[in-house]
Structure formats: C-alpha cells, structure tokens
Structure 1
C-alpha cells in the first residue's frame, strides 16, 4: 500500500513569485524580492477507481477544505469526478444523442428544438453551472417564440439531457426538477367545436376533383392524414367494408417514407366503412386502379399501391395539401382566422385534422360507447376522446335557450355520459352525397 503523502496540499512554484524557492527554480542567481511564496496550493487525492486527481487553489485553507469535501463525498458515495462535471452541455449532447431512439418525426422535432432553443441558451455552459433559476428564466423567455403547447418539447430535451447526466454521475441533481411550464391558452367553446358535415360539403365543392374521395373517406372513417395518404389497396376490403390500418406515410425533412405504424399498438386497428365510403372507394379505384400487391415498408414507396395519389400519380404531401385546403376553406366562407396573442402566429380553422374531430363527435352523438370510439380512432386513452374531440360538440347554449323559450321539450340528460342530447341532425349517407361527376 502506498504511503500517505504528508505534504498534501502542497504549494506549487510560480514564475511570478519572487520568494527564495521560486527564484532559485525560475531565475537562478537572482536575489529574492519577497519572503512569502504566492504560488497556488495543490490538493491531491485518488478517486474511487484509484486514479490520481489534483486541483489548484489560491490558498492552503481552500485546498484543505476541498480535500475534506472529497473525503466526505467518497464516504457518502456522492463523489463526482471534476473532469467529468466540467463538460459543456453541447459536448454532453454529442455523446447523448447517438443513443436516442424513436420515430423519425419525433427525432427530427427533438433535433430542431435542440438546435433552435436549447443549444443557443445552454450549449456552452458546463453541466454543473446550470441551475434551477437559469432553467426557469429560460422557460419564461421561450413563451413568445414558442407557443405554450410547443415549450414542453424544447424543455424535455434539456430535462432528458440533465437526467441522463445525473444517472451517468456527472451532476448530483437535475436543475429541471420542479420547473412549472406555461399553461396552454384556453380556447372558447366555439373555437373547439369541430366543423359540421355541411361545412365540409361546402369546402369540398372548392377542392380539386382528385381530392374529393380522400376527404369523403376521411369523414366516414376518422383516419388521420398520414393513414389516408399511406393507405394501400391490399388493406382495403370493399366486400367486408373494412380498412386495416397497418402503416402510414410520413414526410421527414421533405423526404417521404413508409413507416410501420404506429408508436403504440392502439394505432393498429380495423376501421369499418360506411356505404358511402364503400361507394366512394369503388368509384375511385375504378377510375384510378391501385396495385393490390402486399409489400413491406422496407421495399420503398411503391406508389402504384397507394389508394390516394396526387393528380400526377405521386404521393400526396401534407404541406402541399394544406395550402390547397386553406385556400378552399377561405373560398367556401368556412374559414376562421385568429391570431394567437402569445406567439403572434396566425391560426386557421378548420384544419384537415378537424374532420377527425367531426367524425368522433358524430359517433358520440349516435351513442357509440366511448371505449369503441377509442378503438376506432386508435387512441390509448379514452379521455382524449371525451375531452378533446367531443366535449364541445353539442350546442349546449342553444339547447338551454330552446328549453327556456318552450320551443322544444326540456333537456334530457344521458346518465352514461352526463351530456345533453345533440341539437343538430345526425349525419346520413345523403349529407355527403355529391354528383358522381364531381368525385
């Protein structure tokens, strides 16, 4: 066993010092100019792995205090290697990022949040220098450049980085713990209500003809945009009136790719087709046949297998379709434009995803059990169905006014859901019917 050092901490000779020992080492033959040495004091110790470590301090007392702290930390098991704790957040991100796993769209979002918001704020900071107040102030400054719904995505990057640093024994605590994120701006019930089927009919009248079948199937099945654009002929059963959702088409940084769907098992499901949806698909596939071959996502796009394609036979991109959708909503007089007071961004209603909300509200008003709606829409949590899609679907104020003025019988409360009876007509296959020449 090595003998314990008796000169720990020790004073290091300095060129700027004029004491006898420093002068003899750096300027032999010269006369000393001072009595006491001003060189730094070096504290030396061995880490739990036996590696020699050292750190310099301006005074002997500071060096001795550090040695006492190191000994206490080793006994408590909280010792951290100083060379590991001084790594910057950008350096730590470069080590952390290659180990991240997830969907391509999620990874692209995380990379964008790191590059635009986390790195400019803390990239050059050592891990140990990031404090709770620093993170709290940064989150407050994000409100404006980012909306309250986007701030968690940026915050989670920093939180995950620091959580992994704690687990890797680089810092003792995570400064993100206890941070309160801004609450999302609440919307008026009118802004949460999905579009009616009559409004969707009006929008379709202005859409290009080749987009009509996709929008009709969307409001008859509640499929997401990526599920519709990635739908292949082999997963459409017209005789059995079923659609099997197995994969989606995603646009990642301008690159279209097939993705085994979904993140959770809830997305893998079978959706029934209404008579209108079956008729629409039958006519559409008669005019634009699709290859019924069954290929794997790794085989490439296989555009000929897609049920819904663009006018030139290419896959439909969400960005291009959104431009067309917003324009047609405006021409139909259905569009509502609002400016978010927090971010200053313009928000448009309805979005294409609002068709899914309308379909969920339709099932809710028809009395379909929530657990069934959850299964059809591909949600893991039933609460998403109740509060996000159907909570503001009914015109409660109109029903109360009608009851008070005697123009209709009093409201009847449904015990199973606690919601009043619907006030607008139930959708039928005739609501969405269009002349075949416009399909």
Structure 2
C-alpha cells in the first residue's frame, strides 16, 4: 500500500509571487521581495476509480480550504457519496450522446423522444453545462413551454430532462437533480361529454361517408377494438373465419416517416386472441372478396409483404395514419358528427372524435354488456387496468367465447352492417 503523502496539501510556486523559492524558480538571480509565499495550495486525492486528481485553492486561507477539501473528499470517497463536479462541466448535448444509447426503448418511442429533444429540450438547455442548471431554471422553462405547447407536451419534455439529470446524478456528475420538486401544471379538465367516446350510431354515420374501400375496415375496428397499428398490420394468416377469431401477433409502426413491421409483444398482453362477431366476420369476408390477401405466413424480419395485409390502401400499399386521418376527418365533418374546440392554453384547434375513439367506444360497449373487466382487459390487450377498462379481476379461461357471445347476442341493439 502506497504511503500517504506528507506534503498534501502543498504550496505551488507562482510567477507573481516574490518570495525566495518562487523567485529562484521563475526569476533566477533576482532578489526576493517578500518573506511569505502567496502561491496557491494544491490538494491531491484519488477518486473512486483510483485516478489521481488535484484541486487548487488561492487567496486568503487557501491552505485551510485545501485541508478542509481533502478531509471532505476523502470521507466522500470512503462512504461512496463522492461527486466529481469536474465531470459535470459537460453540456447537456454532450451528456445526451452518452445517455441516449443506454435507453432501452422501441424504435417508434425513440423517434418520439428525438422529436421532444429537438423541439423542446435542446433549444433551451442543450448548451448548458450540467452543473449550471438550477431548480429555478427548470421552473422557468416549464412555465414558458406550457404557454407555448400545452401540458401534455411539456410532460414528455420534462420527463426526458428529469431522466437525463437523474442519470447524471447517479453517475456522480452533479450533486443534485434540479428537476426534483418541480411541479408540473395540471391540464385543464374537460367537460365529461367531451371525453365520452362516439356512439355506434355516430360511427355508422361517419362510416357511411368514407369511401367504400374503408367501410369494412371500420366495421372490424368497431367490433374488435384493435389499435390502429394492429388493424392495418392484420395479416390474412392470422384471421380464422371458421373459428371466428383473429390473432394479434404483430403491428405496424411509423419510424422516421416509414412504415415498419414490428413483432409483438410490446408487453405480455399485446399478443392475444380477439373474438370475431358475426358482423366482423361478414365484413372481413366481404372485404377479402373485393381485395384478396395472401394467406402466406412470413416472419416480421423478412419485410413488409403487403400482399398479406387484410386492409390496405386503395392502391394496395400500407395504410398511413396521416393519410387516413384526412379521410376520417372529412367523413366526420360531412356526417355532422365532428366537434372542434380551441384549447384555451395553446390556442390550437382540437377535433373530436379521433380514430382511436373507436377503440374507446368498443371498451364502453363491453362494459355496458356486462363483460367482466378482466375479460375486457384481456381482449383489449391492456397489461394493466386503464381508465377505459375500469377495475379488473382475474380473466376467466373462456373470455374469448364470453365476449363473442356478448357481442352477437348480449342485448345490444343490432347495428346494421
């Protein structure tokens, strides 16, 4: 074991000092002009990795400051609470280059995160050094961003900044996380009628106004509650028209504007079997007669194979969310179902209903039919209970049959195909 240095802290020679030792080192042959040395005091220590580090103190009481620093630093290294403030001098942009590769997230989630960084976090904090970001800086940024983009967006941006600084804290680059204690504003509550999903009568009115090519797809959405990516990613090999069920085994996501085939599960509940009501089965049969699909079974890694998709665009390609959104909103306007409201915070116009509200309508329908919450959770593919599936108990083994039975004859007024 190396011996402890006896000259730690030690005084360093200085060009500006006129003592005998400093004069001999920097101005040999000259006469010293003072008795006491004014050079800085250097405290040397080893960080938790064993690297030799040093810090200098100048001015009045420099030696006492160096000794106090050594005592404190040695104690922090020994107890594991050491924070290397020098490593916190990198900018947030530089830290993100180290932090981003360690995030285990999906491609579409990473794309969203990159957008949040580029549009909201980087423009303000990108050039700031980690050590220079204070609690009040974060508070001011949150207040400014809320006025510009609203609560939902600033929540995503704040979570990213908080995650980055939490990692920096764990990496011993900063002494505290300036995001701690920052309270995000609450979103303005909406009127209960504004959060209700559309009724099936309203969905029928919208469906009547969309091009005929898409009507059967919307019927299947109403009868299964599939997410958008699951609906457009449904392949013929995963549809059992005799057994009246379909299997959700994969989805289609958008990555940098390109449709990408992705294998489930995102969660354990993602892969599931969904019952087909008679109405849904008729819609699929009718659509496949007009637009046949290959029943081949290929692996997601082999590429899109769009000929296997049950629901495609008019030209036979993969349906794009933004393209179909224009079709949906035009139909909702024509049917007189849509509502528009101006967000009082951001000033942006918000529309109702969204295509995803079809899934909410399906969940509400299951609830009104008395389907057990655990069965509804299983069919909807929720890993945990959500606001549209209420409270859950354990799913029964025959949940698929029970849901199909309820959909076909559970007392709901018949809906015309």
- TM-score, normalised with respect to structure 2: 0.87
| SS in structure 1 at match of 2:388 | helix
- How has the CA–CA distance of structure 1 residues 138 and 24 changed in structure 2, closer, same or farther, with 3 Å as cutoff? same
The aligned counterpart of 1:221 is 224
Q: CA separation in 2, counterparts of 1:33 and 1:75?
A: 43
The one of 114, 120, 123 aligned to 2:117 = 114
The one of 291, 297, 302 aligned to 1:299 = 302
Give how far 1:153 is off.
1.9
The aligned counterpart of 1:385 is 388
Q: CA separation in 2, counterparts of 1:426 and 1:27?
A: 102
The aligned counterpart of 2:244 is 241
Q: CA separation in 2, counterparts of 1:383 and 1:46?
A: 51
The aligned counterpart of 2:185 is 182
- How has the CA–CA distance of structure 1 residues 194 and 128 changed in structure 2, closer, same or farther, with 3 Å as cutoff? same
Q: Please tell me whether the aligned partners of residues 343 and 350 of structure 2 are also in contact (alpha carbons under 8 angstroms).
A: yes
Q: Please tell me whether the aligned partners of residues 166 and 172 of structure 1 are also in contact (alpha carbons under 8 angstroms).
A: yes
Q: Pairwise mapping of residues 122-141 of structure 1 onto structure 2 (< 5 A)?
A: 122-141=125-144
Give how far 1:19 is off.
4.9
The aligned counterpart of 1:320 is 323
The aligned counterpart of 1:161 is 164
Give how far 1:56 is off.
1.4
Give how far 1:332 is off.
1.6
Give how far 1:196 is off.
1.6
The one of 274, 278, 282 aligned to 2:281 = 278
Residues 111-140 of structure 1, C-alpha deviations (whole Å, 9 max, x = no match): 222222223333333333333333333333
Q: Pairwise mapping of residues 53-202 of structure 1 onto structure 2 (< 5 A)?
A: 53-59=53-59, 60=62, 61-202=64-205
- How has the CA–CA distance of structure 1 residues 244 and 34 changed in structure 2, closer, same or farther, with 3 Å as cutoff? same
Give how far 1:49 is off.
4.2
Q: CA separation in 2, counterparts of 1:48 and 1:305?
A: 57
Q: CA separation in 2, counterparts of 1:307 and 1:144?
A: 43
Is 2:374 the partner of 1:367? no
Q: Please tell me whether the aligned partners of residues 70 and 79 of structure 1 are also in contact (alpha carbons under 8 angstroms).
A: yes
Give how far 1:426 is off.
6.7
- How has the CA–CA distance of structure 1 residues 68 and 213 changed in structure 2, closer, same or farther, with 3 Å as cutoff? same
Is 2:329 the partner of 1:345? no
Q: Please tell me whether the aligned partners of residues 363 and 389 of structure 2 are also in contact (alpha carbons under 8 angstroms).
A: no
| SS in structure 2 at match of 1:265 | coil
The aligned counterpart of 1:421 is none
- How has the CA–CA distance of structure 1 residues 286 and 70 changed in structure 2, closer, same or farther, with 3 Å as cutoff? same
Q: CA separation in 2, counterparts of 1:332 and 1:351?
A: 14
The aligned counterpart of 1:414 is none
- How has the CA–CA distance of structure 1 residues 50 and 353 changed in structure 2, closer, same or farther, with 3 Å as cutoff? closer
The aligned counterpart of 2:270 is 267
| SS in structure 1 at match of 2:25 | helix
261-270 or 167-176: which moved more? 167-176
Q: Please tell me whether the aligned partners of residues 216 and 432 of structure 1 are also in contact (alpha carbons under 8 angstroms).
A: no
Q: Please tell me whether the aligned partners of residues 195 and 358 of structure 1 are also in contact (alpha carbons under 8 angstroms).
A: yes
Q: Please tell me whether the aligned partners of residues 218 and 356 of structure 1 are also in contact (alpha carbons under 8 angstroms).
A: yes
Q: CA separation in 2, counterparts of 1:169 and 1:227?
A: 43
- How has the CA–CA distance of structure 1 residues 56 and 284 changed in structure 2, closer, same or farther, with 3 Å as cutoff? same
- How has the CA–CA distance of structure 1 residues 192 and 7 changed in structure 2, closer, same or farther, with 3 Å as cutoff? same
| SS in structure 2 at match of 1:267 | coil
Gaps of 5+ in 1: 389-424, 434-439
RMSD: 2.5
